[in-house]
């Protein structure tokens, strides 16, 4: 019985009890990016995509409001503007992806 308990004690001693502590000490020099920092970095990398998204949202909201108030011409104009803003956003996204693929790391 004492032999089995000695073997179990040796196995327990070999396996670290808190693996996360060693992982934490190994990653000490690394900085993990917060959500806010990531959003700011992405905006700086390609500012036209968020601008296009905001323009699309604004055109959609104003177009829906115009539709509700009975301004048919303005509603049609804003829906066409929304399509143009969506196209701008997609083009900005594709250009940003192309630039990031070409950029050396």
pLDDT, tens digit (0-9, with 9 covering 90-100), for 89-102: 999 999 988 888 88
Separation CA 99–CA 28 (nearest Å): 32
pLDDT over 90 at 105, yes or no:
no
Residue 103 burial (CB < 10 Å; 0-12/13-18/19+)? exposed
Output the pTM of the full model. Answer: 0.63
Contacts of 50 (CB under 8 A, 6+ apart): 43
Q: In the prediction, which pLDDT does 17 show? A: 62
Band of residue 75 on the pLDDT scale cut at 50, 70, 90 = very high
What residue segments make up the domains of the chain, in order of their start? 2-102
Instruction: Determine how many CB atoms are found less than 10 A away from the CB of residue 55.
Output: 18
Per-residue pLDDT, averaged over 68-87, amounts to 95
Contacts of 88 (CB under 8 A, 6+ apart): 48, 52, 55
Tens of pLDDT, residues 16-67: 566 656 666 666 667 778 899 988 988 888 889 999 999 999 999 999 999 9
């Amino acid at each position: 019985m004492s032999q089995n308990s000695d073997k179990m004690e040796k196995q327990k001693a070999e396996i670290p009890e808190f693996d996360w502590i060693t992982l934490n000490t190994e990653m000490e020099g690394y900085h993990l990016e917060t959500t806010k920092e990531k959003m700011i970095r992405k905006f700086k990398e390609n500012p036209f995509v968020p601008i296009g998204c905001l323009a699309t949202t604004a055109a959609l909201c104003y177009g829906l409001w115009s539709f509700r108030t009975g301004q048919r011409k303005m509603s049609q104009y804003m829906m066409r503007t929304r399509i143009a803003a969506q196209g701008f956003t997609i083009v900005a996204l594709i250009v940003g992806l192309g630039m990031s693929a070409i950029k050396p790391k």
